[in-house]
Amino acid sequence: MLLNRSERKFPRVVIIGGGFGGIEVARHLRDKEVEVLLIDRNNFHVFQPLLYQVATGTLASDSIAFPLRKMFKSQDNFRFRMAEVLRIEQESKIVYTSVGDFDYDYLVVASGATSNFFGNANVEKYSLGMKSVQEAQNIRSYVLQNLEEAVLRKNAHDRERFLNFVVVGGGPTGVELSGAIAEIQLHMLKKDYPELSKHEMNVYLVEGLGEVLAALSDKSSRDAKRYLEELGVKVILNTVVKDYDGLTVTLSNGDQIPTKTVIWGAGVKGQFPEGINQELIQRGNRIKTNGQCEIEGMENVYAIGDVAATVTEKTPNGLPGVAPVAQQQGKYVANHILGKMKNDNNVEDFKYFDKGSMATVGRNRAVVDMGKFHMNGFLAWCTWMFVHLLSIAGFRNKLVTFVNWSVKFFTKNSGIRLIVHRYDRQLPSVKPTEEVEQV
């Protein structure tokens, strides 16, 4: 049972979100004189950088997710509630959730981000996001369902829509995902679907800017594009998606691609419960904080990670939405809270230490930027693999992931091809004149 404020021995730190930022706060409050209450709508932490491997069948979802209660099983001051946080009430210092309300002495909003469709209702309705394990599993089922549907169509024209896959957004998510779908085309299609030809399948990557991986160095952008094209991905630059009706995607250059699969990786926006002053909401729906990650006008309330825009003179647009920012801010805020409890207000602003960026393209190539140092090809891929293996939570997950990657490296095949839950969507039906095989 959780005690009321008046009954508690130590102050309570409530953390909204068990993502990269939230778990770091909880970890750094271990053995301290606080009660930690972590609330998440899921009972697990997700290693989002590998979601694309769940979506393309290389990894099972439980290899990249880890139960939060298990993660903190030996931390005595830790409590968890699986709940949706609905509202924050700063006057009474209470968070209202789907399972009841909890008071706090310190609150950390680490609720992350969700897909941003930039107000395009059609695209939001018909395309697939990849921000959660559930969404990644839906993509996996849906891609396989489309291949099954394609097999039933007798002529190539009718198969086209099921065999065109459009990924939107040339950031790391789009690059990694389109590369992995291209590998399905190259290595799995012929073996599993002898009725289909790999020449019938097309993978498109649509990017609004003039390069992919624009946040990385020019060299990495060029290398990544080249690797994608070598895998057969059709990279379309300086172009945005204008509309999508579930059957045909229309691009800003006027081109139309018949497709039942558009996967959206073109933008994210912060997500958070009600109760935040609207004036503090910045571009990308992020909550403005000061340099010490505190939300202005809210006593003892912090925002970190993807949901936060940490605005300082040096970072007028906030920090990038990447895991190391959330992790470093999590550690910083834990220490900030402990400092506040000791009335130590002489604290320096948060400083982000950028260790570098990387992205993988296909089974054995990647690009890595570390300061001015650039790496590409197989060596970069080994580095990428090593860093990701180290970062995945749990020994079992590391082992299973390593085994899966090794098998894939040697066999060129993704292991998980089950459509356990059909992903059925409300799409306009394909023309009834189409000839479908009858058995």
Ligand X SMILES: Cc1cc2nc3c(=O)[nH]c(=O)nc-3n(C[C@H](O)[C@H](O)[C@H](O)COP(=O)(O)OP(=O)(O)OC[C@H]3O[C@@H](n4cnc5c(N)ncnc54)[C@H](O)[C@@H]3O)c2cc1C
Determine if 301 is a binding residue for ligand X (CB under 6 A).
Answer: no
For ligand X, the closer CB: 84 or 434:
84
Give me the 395-414 binding string for ligand X, x by CB under 6 A, dash otherwise: --------------------
Order across the sheet with 248-251: list the strands.
241-244, 248-251, 256-258
Q: What does the longest C-alpha to C-alpha distance in the chain come to?
A: 76
Compare residues 41 and 374 and give the one whose CB is closer to ligand X.
41
- For residue 251, state whether it binds ligand X (rule: CB under 6 A): no
Size of the site for ligand X (CB under 6 A): 34
The span of 72-80, 247-255, 299-307, 369-377 binding ligand X (CB under 6 A) equals: 299-307
The answer to whether 273 contacts ligand X (rule: CB under 6 A) is yes
131 binds ligand X (CB under 6 A): yes
Question: Judged by CB under 6 A, which of 12, 36, 37, 40 binds ligand X?
Answer: 40
The stretch among 214-222, 241-249, 316-324, 362-370 that binds ligand X (CB under 6 A) is 316-324
20 in contact with ligand X (CB under 6 A): yes
Closer residue to ligand X in complex, CB, 112/362: 112
Which single residue is written with the structure tokens 């107000």? Answer: 119
**Measured distance between the N- and C-terminal CA atoms of the chain, rounded to whole angstroms:** 60
The one segment of 35-43, 287-295, 337-345, 371-379 that binds ligand X by CB under 6 A: 35-43
Single out the segment in contact with ligand X by CB under 6 A; choices: 39-47, 162-170, 205-213, 287-295.
39-47
Residue 17 makes contact with ligand X by CB under 6 A:
yes
Vertex 229: Cα angle to 228 and 234 (nearest 5): 100
Residues 101-120 that bind ligand X (CB under 6 A): 110-112
84/211 with CB nearer ligand X:
84
Measured from the CB atom, the residue of 20 and 405 that comes closer to ligand X is: 20
232 binds ligand X (CB under 6 A): no
Q: Does 173 sit near ligand X (CB under 6 A)?
A: yes
Q: Binding residue for ligand X (CB under 6 A) from 12, 13, 15, 18?
A: 18
Residue 276 has phi, psi (to 5 degrees) of -100, 135
Q: Which of 205, 210, 209 shows the shortest CA–CA distance to 178?
A: 205
Report in angstroms how near the CB of residue 63 gets to ligand X at its nearest. 15
Least separation, in Å, of the C-beta of 42 and ligand X? 5
Q: Is residue 176 among the annotated active site residues? A: yes
* 323 contributes a contact to ligand X by CB under 6 A: yes
Rounded to a whole number of angstroms, the minimum distance from the CB of residue 262 to ligand X is 16
Could you say whether residue 58 binds ligand X (CB under 6 A)? no
Q: Which is nearer to ligand X, 19 or 170 (CB)?
A: 19
Write down the catalytic residue from 35, 176, 207, 294: 176
3-state secondary structure the chain: CCCCHHHCCCCEEEEECCCHHHHHHHHHCCCCCCEEEEEECCCEEECHHHHHHHHCCCCCHHHHEEEHHHHCCCCCCEEEEECCEEEEECCCCEEEECCEEEECCEEEECCCEEECCCCCHHHHHHCEECCCHHHHHHHHHHHHHHHHHHHHECCHHHHHHHHEEEEECCCHHHHHHHHHHHHHHHHHHHHHCCCCCHHHCEEEEECCCCCCCCCCCHHHHHHHHHHHHHHCCEEECCCCEEEECCCEEEECCCCEEECCEEEECCCEEECCCECCCHHHEEHHHEEEECCCCEECCCCCEEECHHHEEECCCCCCCCCCCCHHHHHHHHHHHHHHHHHHHCCCCCCCCCCCCCCCEEEEECCCEEEEEECCEEEEHHHHHHHHHHHHHHHCCCHHHHHHHHHHHHHHHHHCCCCCCCCCCCCCCCCCCCCCCCCECCC
Question: By CB under 6 A, is residue 42 in contact with ligand X?
Answer: yes
- CB nearer to ligand X: give 143 or 326: 326
Q: Site for ligand X (CB under 6 A): which residue of 103, 135, 183, 306?
A: 306
Name the site residues for ligand X (rule: CB under 6 A).
16-22, 39-42, 48-49, 51-52, 84-85, 110-112, 130-131, 172-173, 271, 273, 305-307, 321-324, 326
Catalytic positions, written as ranges: 176
